[in-house]
Structure 1
Amino acid sequence: DGESITLPHHTSSADLKPGKHTLTIIAADLAGNETTSVRTFHIKREEPNQPELADQKIGAHKAKLSVRVKDPTKDEMNVSFYRGFRYTARNPGSVKVYQHASLTEPPRGMKENEMPFTLPEMNRISANDGKTVSTENMERFPYHRFEVSVDPSIDETDLAEAVWKGSSLPGRKVTMYIWNYRTSRWQEADSVLAKNKKPFTLKAAVSAADAVKNSKMNVIVQDQIPAKGNYSFVWMSDTQYYAQGHPNIFDKMTEWIKENKEKHNIKYVFHTGDIVDDSMVMKQWKNADHSMRTLDKAGIPYGVLAGNHDVGHKDGTYRTFGDFFGSRRFEKKMHYGGSYKNNRGHYDLLSASGNDFIMIYMGWGITDQEIDWINQVLKRYPDRTAILCFHEYLLVSGNRSPIGETIYQKVVKPNRNVAMVLSGHYHNAMKKTDALDDDGDGKPDRLVHQILTDYQDGPEGGQGYMRIMQFDQAANQVHMFSYSPYTDDINYYDTDLFADKDEFSAEMDLQPKMKKVATDYFECNVYTNELLGHKKHVKSGKTAHWVWDGLQPDSVYYWYTVVKDPYNGKTISPIWMFKTGKTPYHPAPDQFDFKHASSP
């Protein structure tokens, strides 16, 4: 009808965010005629402004607390006064700080062989003044742990907030974890990717029901400084015929890896699918399980994915793969990062000689849903060099398959940390290297090496050849060749006839990235549900007062306010502090409104 759309002044902002919105209406009749109408409207911000501390008149046993409140739409507000707590390094009796370096990030347990901060170190982190305490380690993951002893009155309905201020090195991801007593694990709470050497803040609020037990709360902030040195990865693919009829060869491969773990500094093993030939034959799965358990028993990190033979030719089910190589097999391993649909996909986190990797696997039958999951994981770990593993990606022609091209466009190109893609499926050994311009300046910023390895069409299913990947940090190269412990022979393909088909070097940035965690300041705030008092119908721009009495002399107290308008708009103030006087304070008669005073 040509009329503009007018929304009621207090349309719920829980449904629409404040700001400009566009409503498009399309009307069509049965004859195919169609008309489109577009209307623009605005939603005002409903939440009250952040309350401002107006005044605190403090006596020995009473305190008059005053806050000034405002609302962007001039609504009247209800102001509730609550008790709070704050704990910092200024009070070593409430906050204890420890430093250590663990084998994993985060540590597997809550406490390890830690060293407490000294008194001078505690003094350095007692104020946000640029004075820091740094912990470094050349081989493990250094961290600072903050153990906070909270007031016994704090219960599971309260909210606990940790605030850490410090610094790291450019490009490093520093993470805050809070110990979850329900799951008995460190729970990632906040992280920052440092853009420069300037200080930054990590901050997170969690339920006291999860984070507080026996009046204790634990927080760690962690990063890593690793060691230098060369190391090796091993890559197996398409072991299907070994599982089917040559289990002795399969056993020989994993036994060799175990026996040469120290000699070749083997840090990790890849398997890019077709573990078995027929997913319906249990004997093949048992053969594969027996061979791969050699790596489990030796404590060698490895990852697997399902090829087309592993998921069933007829129904494509992952059921049996999940029974033998599902997430339950890996979930307690230190390198295992997380699972997608019971290990249909997963990622591993590994640090070797100063290089931090994320290995991401996705099994047969990749759709947009799987690609979305891979991208989410890559964005979570932008500082780790990514090696992607699929069963099908590169063709024997050296070109990408259709699904490989999709992965390249949607995953490899957008994610700057992807350096390598490994695949099998097609019987050959090929490589393709693409130089990518990430910043659009016309110059390559990184190389992505895409490699196919599959020896299954050889005698006895490939005679146990597998690819050895040696990381040469001095040369910034990964030297590759194939080796069979079954025949004790290097390179499946004759290098005189096939040049660099099996043996070649790939450029990769392998300079160890220095990392550190440097704490400047830490505090823990607790927002309790202990209501001190309540003021109703406070007009915008006015001040709400409350008298907190029954206090102890010469004591520190904390409090905060919650401001609500009639339309569900809600704002929580910071926590404020005061200290009561040592001697009784006698205010003038009009200084306290005893009519409305209330005890906690």
Structure 2
Amino acid sequence: MNENPEQPELVSPGDYATVNGNPVLKVKVKDPTNDDVDVTFYQGYQYDASHLDSVKGYKNAADTEPPQSPVPAGEQAFTEDDIALVAKEDGQYLTNNSHTQFPYHRFDVTVDSSIDENDIFELNWKGKSLEGRKVSMYAWNHQTGDWELIDYRIAGEDDFELTGNVEVNAYVKDHKINVLVQDEIPSTPDEYDYTFIWMSDTQFYAESFPYIFERQTQWIAENQEEMKIKYVFHTGDLVNISTDENQWKHANQYMGVLDEHQIPYGVLAGNHDVNQVNNDYTDYYRYFGEDRFEDKPYYGGSYLNNRGHYDLISAGGNDFIMIYLGWGVTDEGIQWINDVLAAHPNRMAILNFHEYLLATGTRHPLGEKLYNEIVVPNENVVAVLSGHYHEAQTFIDEIDDNGDGTPDRTVFQMLADYQAGPEGGQGYMRLLHFDQDNHRIIVNTYSPYLDDYNYYNTDAHPEKDEFIINLDLSAAEKQVATDYFSVNVYTDTEIGKDENGESGEIAKTVWKGLTKGNFYSWYAVAEDDHTGKTVSDIWSFTKQAAGSDSDDEKDPVDTPQKPEQPSNDDKQPNPSKHPGNDDQNHFNNKHSNKKSRSSGRK
């Protein structure tokens, strides 16, 4: 049983009312166990788009998620009509769509100069998107110089809410906070295909044939525009002997060609990269750890210093997540992958391991574990790439995701490792050409070193080095639709207190010393004698500029100036997200250090 007091209910003044004289703040409080309740009233601040002097809104679409700067180029300021759509929660939306980029709305909010690190800073967005799309809310962190994820949701049929608290010291600078809400998934479609390149097991090139390694990545750079190369995979064994510094220098130099030409790529550690016997990642971390990739816009996140990682890649309106897990797979690493996939369900997932398929074309026991624990339960997995074994094989599974007896998904599991050939494989690597018009991936195998297609003889081994993968490549539409946005600040400025009230009674206090014509916000905290505590919403009113000068404590007259917010359950703030539940310790600490202010803002 929840023994906390119920959330205080507003009695008066009405939200967004205009009041005469000194406002009497009233709330109704109830306790489920009928304990007496103490109610403390505090000053708050609420900033939404209706406050034109404090909130500036912008709309745009970016090539990355999130954008790479706090104020991206090309933004358009909200028009008067735009502002009207987002100034109140009314089911009217400011909507931006894109097939080619990430649409977003950005809010630049100026807050009162009295707000400090002891105050709770809550960001709140309400709106919708296309069903199945991921919508994220970011705030610019001035300490890290980057957008930090605050909250996200996968859109369903109904409206939803993004909310979260941020620290004043990290996110507020010069009394301003920068917030961005974005549909996550970009693209750059055009009338022709795009290409992914897949490298693997370059260990002998790093050891004995560096000129082949160099030719591979130089060719990729030379053909980046012509072949529309959007991404490069490397499924491990960058070097042959992990303790040989010279081999790492070769791998670093030649993979660095992709860095120089800003070609997105991902790598993982094979057994030769980690000393095979003891899984020593020391040298791998030095050359291909998280610090090599962390500032790249496509790099989604790291597991144990790039022992695992994921990249977010979009091309032609198709949205991918490339996930890597290096040698020495653990249950913890598998759980990490599942968590990442759960957070990106609307991206096509391509998994990368060093060991998965055997040379026979069947799954290794580890591959079986990965298949059953990752591939099967995650409906967005479409392919698995691997190396290690000296062969080229393709294994196809059809998976019935909804249990109706009909396959819903085809997963292509591929092995491509040519190191057993002359000169360590002579530079053969896979080219994956995406043909969107015909919903297929054309797979070729090519050696830039020899300028030759197909390692295996196509007559003797048809569909070993070249084949077709059928895959739905329809461009996905992106949308962000804002109904309402606000910044709510719960300060520790106490207005007054009404103690030992009975459950169900009205608690009240008078707020004196306010300036005529100013806009004020407040909230209430209800506490019982057993440490139960609940925090109300923030409510606002305007002190009338002309009229009664009374300083007594009689109830003011409410003159509503703004339509009341919808009262249905779907439109109410989520109590589980409210500072009264998520930040009890913060409230306990801040309310023990009271200060007095009665400033307002016009």
Same fold (TM over 0.5): yes
Structure 2 residue aligned with 1:490 = 453
Structure 2 residue aligned with 1:129 = 90
* SS in structure 2 of the partner of residue 253 of structure 1: helix
Structure 2 residue aligned with 1:91 = 51
Question: Closer, same or farther in 2 for the Cα pair 1:498/1:590, shift >3 Å?
Answer: closer
Judge conservation of contact 2:22–2:551 (CA < 8 Å) in 1.
no
Question: Closer, same or farther in 2 for the Cα pair 1:99/1:267, shift >3 Å?
Answer: same
Q: Verify: 1:177 aligned to 2:138, yes or no.
A: yes
Structure 1 residue aligned with 2:539 = 576
Q: What amino acid sits opposite 1:105 in the alignment?
A: E
1:50-449 equivalent positions in 2, closer than 5 A = 50-56=7-13, 60-113=20-73, 114-196=75-157, 198-223=158-183, 224=185, 226-229=187-190, 230-449=193-412
Q: 1:258-306: per-residue Cα shift (whole Å, max 9, x none)?
A: 0000111000000000111110111111111111111110110000000
Q: What amino acid sits opposite 2:92 in the alignment?
A: K
* SS in structure 2 of the partner of residue 493 of structure 1: coil
Judge conservation of contact 1:387–1:422 (CA < 8 Å) in 2.
yes
Q: What amino acid sits opposite 1:218 in the alignment?
A: N
The TM-score with structure 2 as length reference comes to: 0.89
Judge conservation of contact 1:61–1:550 (CA < 8 Å) in 2.
no
Question: Closer, same or farther in 2 for the Cα pair 1:439/1:59, shift >3 Å?
Answer: closer
* SS in structure 2 of the partner of residue 516 of structure 1: strand
Query: Where in structure 2 are there 5+ consecutive unaligned residues?
Result: 557-595
Question: Closer, same or farther in 2 for the Cα pair 1:385/1:590, shift >3 Å?
Answer: closer
User: In the TM superposition, what is the alpha-carbon distance from 1:233 to its structure 2 partner?
Assistant: 0.4
Judge conservation of contact 2:59–2:77 (CA < 8 Å) in 1.
yes
Q: What amino acid sits opposite 1:367 in the alignment?
A: T
Identity of aligned residues (%): 50
Query: Where in structure 1 are there 5+ consecutive unaligned residues?
Result: 1-43, 593-597
Distance in 1 (alpha carbons) for counterparts of 2:159 and 2:339: 27
Distance in 1 (alpha carbons) for counterparts of 2:553 and 2:488: 35
Q: Verify: 1:564 aligned to 2:524, yes or no.
A: no
Structure 2 residue aligned with 1:8 = none
* SS in structure 2 of the partner of residue 527 of structure 1: strand
Q: 1:470-495: per-residue Cα shift (whole Å, max 9, x none)?
A: 11111111111110011110000000
Distance in 1 (alpha carbons) for counterparts of 2:148 and 2:553: 52
Structure 2 residue aligned with 1:9 = none
User: In the TM superposition, what is the alpha-carbon distance from 1:61 to its structure 2 partner?
Assistant: 4.3
User: In the TM superposition, what is the alpha-carbon distance from 1:100 to its structure 2 partner?
Assistant: 1.8
Distance in 1 (alpha carbons) for counterparts of 2:92 and 2:505: 40
* SS in structure 2 of the partner of residue 475 of structure 1: coil
User: In the TM superposition, what is the alpha-carbon distance from 1:189 to its structure 2 partner?
Assistant: 1.3
* SS in structure 2 of the partner of residue 108 of structure 1: coil
User: In the TM superposition, what is the alpha-carbon distance from 1:588 to its structure 2 partner?
Assistant: 7.4
User: In the TM superposition, what is the alpha-carbon distance from 1:138 to its structure 2 partner?
Assistant: 4.2
Judge conservation of contact 1:61–1:551 (CA < 8 Å) in 2.
no
- My pick for the range that moved more, 433-442 or 55-64, is 55-64
User: In the TM superposition, what is the alpha-carbon distance from 1:199 to its structure 2 partner?
Assistant: 3.0
Distance in 1 (alpha carbons) for counterparts of 2:21 and 2:175: 26
* SS in structure 2 of the partner of residue 395 of structure 1: coil
Q: Verify: 1:451 aligned to 2:411, yes or no.
A: no
Q: 1:325-348: per-residue Cα shift (whole Å, max 9, x none)?
A: 111111111111111111111100
User: In the TM superposition, what is the alpha-carbon distance from 1:87 to its structure 2 partner?
Assistant: 1.3
Over the residues paired in the alignment, what is the CA RMSD in angstroms?
A: 1.7
User: In the TM superposition, what is the alpha-carbon distance from 1:125 to its structure 2 partner?
Assistant: 2.0
Judge conservation of contact 2:99–2:478 (CA < 8 Å) in 1.
no
User: In the TM superposition, what is the alpha-carbon distance from 1:245 to its structure 2 partner?
Assistant: 0.2
User: In the TM superposition, what is the alpha-carbon distance from 1:497 to its structure 2 partner?
Assistant: 0.2
Q: 1:150-200: per-residue Cα shift (whole Å, max 9, x none)?
A: 11111111112222222221211111111222222211112121123x433
Judge conservation of contact 2:488–2:538 (CA < 8 Å) in 1.
yes
Distance in 1 (alpha carbons) for counterparts of 2:470 and 2:425: 28
- Say how many residue pairs are matched: 551
User: In the TM superposition, what is the alpha-carbon distance from 1:137 to its structure 2 partner?
Assistant: 3.7
Distance in 2 (alpha carbons) for counterparts of 1:560 and 1:79: 10
Q: Verify: 1:509 aligned to 2:482, yes or no.
A: no
Distance in 1 (alpha carbons) for counterparts of 2:409 and 2:554: 73
- My pick for the range that moved more, 115-124 or 314-323, is 115-124
Judge conservation of contact 2:97–2:477 (CA < 8 Å) in 1.
no
* SS in structure 1 of the partner of residue 413 of structure 2: strand
Judge conservation of contact 1:60–1:552 (CA < 8 Å) in 2.
no
Distance in 1 (alpha carbons) for counterparts of 2:364 and 2:251: 28
Asked which structure has the greater RCO (Cα within 8 Å, sep 6+), the reply is 2
**Residue of 48, 52, 61 corresponding to 2:5:** 48
Distance in 2 (alpha carbons) for counterparts of 1:450 and 1:515: 29
Distance in 2 (alpha carbons) for counterparts of 1:207 and 1:325: 33
Distance in 2 (alpha carbons) for counterparts of 1:575 and 1:540: 21
Question: Closer, same or farther in 2 for the Cα pair 1:242/1:70, shift >3 Å?
Answer: same
Q: 1:36-92: per-residue Cα shift (whole Å, max 9, x none)?
A: xxxxxxxx2121101111233975441111111111112222211100111121121
Judge conservation of contact 1:226–1:514 (CA < 8 Å) in 2.
no
Judge conservation of contact 1:48–1:569 (CA < 8 Å) in 2.
yes
User: In the TM superposition, what is the alpha-carbon distance from 1:585 to its structure 2 partner?
Assistant: 4.6
Distance in 1 (alpha carbons) for counterparts of 2:151 and 2:302: 21
Q: What amino acid sits opposite 2:24 in the alignment?
A: K
Distance in 2 (alpha carbons) for counterparts of 1:59 and 1:444: 65
User: In the TM superposition, what is the alpha-carbon distance from 1:225 to its structure 2 partner?
Assistant: 5.7
* SS in structure 1 of the partner of residue 372 of structure 2: helix
User: In the TM superposition, what is the alpha-carbon distance from 1:140 to its structure 2 partner?
Assistant: 2.4
Structure 1 residue aligned with 2:566 = none
Judge conservation of contact 1:59–1:584 (CA < 8 Å) in 2.
no
Distance in 1 (alpha carbons) for counterparts of 2:189 and 2:69: 27
Judge conservation of contact 1:464–1:484 (CA < 8 Å) in 2.
yes
Structure 2 residue aligned with 1:13 = none
Judge conservation of contact 1:61–1:552 (CA < 8 Å) in 2.
no
- My pick for the range that moved more, 138-147 or 341-350, is 138-147
Judge conservation of contact 2:126–2:484 (CA < 8 Å) in 1.
yes
Q: What amino acid sits opposite 1:171 in the alignment?
A: G
Q: What amino acid sits opposite 1:90 in the alignment?
A: S
Distance in 2 (alpha carbons) for counterparts of 1:394 and 1:590: 80
Q: What amino acid sits opposite 2:203 in the alignment?
A: Q
Judge conservation of contact 1:96–1:148 (CA < 8 Å) in 2.
yes
User: In the TM superposition, what is the alpha-carbon distance from 1:371 to its structure 2 partner?
Assistant: 0.4
- My pick for the range that moved more, 80-89 or 530-539, is 530-539
Structure 1 residue aligned with 2:432 = 469
Distance in 1 (alpha carbons) for counterparts of 2:555 and 2:228: 76
Structure 2 residue aligned with 1:30 = none
Distance in 2 (alpha carbons) for counterparts of 1:238 and 1:54: 70
Distance in 1 (alpha carbons) for counterparts of 2:76 and 2:539: 32
The TM-score with structure 1 as length reference comes to: 0.89
Distance in 1 (alpha carbons) for counterparts of 2:597 and 2:26: 16
Distance in 2 (alpha carbons) for counterparts of 1:444 and 1:519: 37
Judge conservation of contact 1:157–1:207 (CA < 8 Å) in 2.
no
Question: Closer, same or farther in 2 for the Cα pair 1:227/1:315, shift >3 Å?
Answer: closer
Pick the structure with greater CA Rg. 1
Judge conservation of contact 1:211–1:217 (CA < 8 Å) in 2.
yes
Structure 1 residue aligned with 2:514 = 551
Q: What amino acid sits opposite 1:233 in the alignment?
A: F
User: In the TM superposition, what is the alpha-carbon distance from 1:591 to its structure 2 partner?
Assistant: 5.7
